[in-house]
Chains A and B, each alone.
Chain A
Amino acid sequence: DVKVTQSSRYLVKRTGEKVFLECVQDMDHENMFWYRQDPGLGLRLIYFSYDVKMKEKGDIPEGYSVSREKKERFSLILESASTNQTSMYLCASSDLGHPGYFGPGTRLTVT
């Protein structure tokens, strides 16, 4: 059974903190994605990676960075968390161009 796992289901952080969201896939997929989901806006692409150490900006990269040191792991970093980054964060992986498998999501609250 294919799996995309995310390190936390719920996270509460303070404004200004550095936040790490981890994602691991066990399908040996080349492509990995980070999205955020907000009511009325659907899923918006933050960053994606098509290979180890490779990354591309999505539609809303501001305030975020990513790291992909190993094929199976893709990390999203909030350099200095702000309240407008309170959201549901979804990681996905794929061996096609579009995201095929999503993780369960991390609901991040920044206070």
Chain B
Amino acid sequence: DQQVKQNSPSLSVQEGRISILNCDYTNSMFDYFLWYKKYPAEGPTFLISISSIKDKNEDGRFTVFLNKSAKHLSLHIVPSQPGDSAVYFCAARMKTSYDKVIFGPGTSLSVIP
């Protein structure tokens, strides 16, 4: 049973608009959440993270929101650019096993010029 879920396998957004990628998790022991971005033929790169003591973290065009009661987080990209087209992985880390990061299945984002 997947502990980190990304229910949308793909998403298409117009350039300049907002992209919202969603992620749900089931394990209340997760205390740190991460987003990674992956281009074809490359390894994932770390994008942004958020601790469970916060509900928002912002880095330029990227903002991650965390709703602990709903066990839900989302990544907002504003404005979306064609170079943002990639697969985005949501990931979570447990308090007791800080090296073991659990990844979701990924969402493929296409930003249309």
Contact = CB atoms under 8 A, between A and B. Distances in A.
Do A and B come together as binding partners?
yes
Given A41-B105, A42-B106, A4 B43 contact: yes
Interface in A13-47: 31, 33, 35, 39-45
A42 to B, nearest CB: 4
B99 A104 contact: no
Contact of B100 (A39, A42, A58): A58
Contact of A56 (B91, B93, B99, B103): B99
Interface string A76-111: 000000000000001110000111111111000000
Given A43-B103, A97-B99, A98-B34, A104 B89 contact: no
A99 B101 contact: yes
A1 interface: no
A27 to B, nearest CB: 13
The A interface, classified by DSSP as helix, strand, loop or mixed, is: strand
Contact of A101 (B2, B32, B45): B45
Given A100-B46, A104-B42, A43 B89 contact: yes
A92 B99 contact: no
A102 B44 contact: yes
Given A98-B34, A98-B93, A40 B105 contact: yes
A104 B43 contact: yes
A35 B41 CA distance: 16
Contacts of A48: 99-100
Contacts of A99: 46, 101
A91 B100 CA distance: 14
A90 B44 contact: yes
A5 B32 CA distance: 27
Interface of A: 4, 31, 33, 35, 39-45, 48, 50, 56, 58-59, 90-92, 97-105
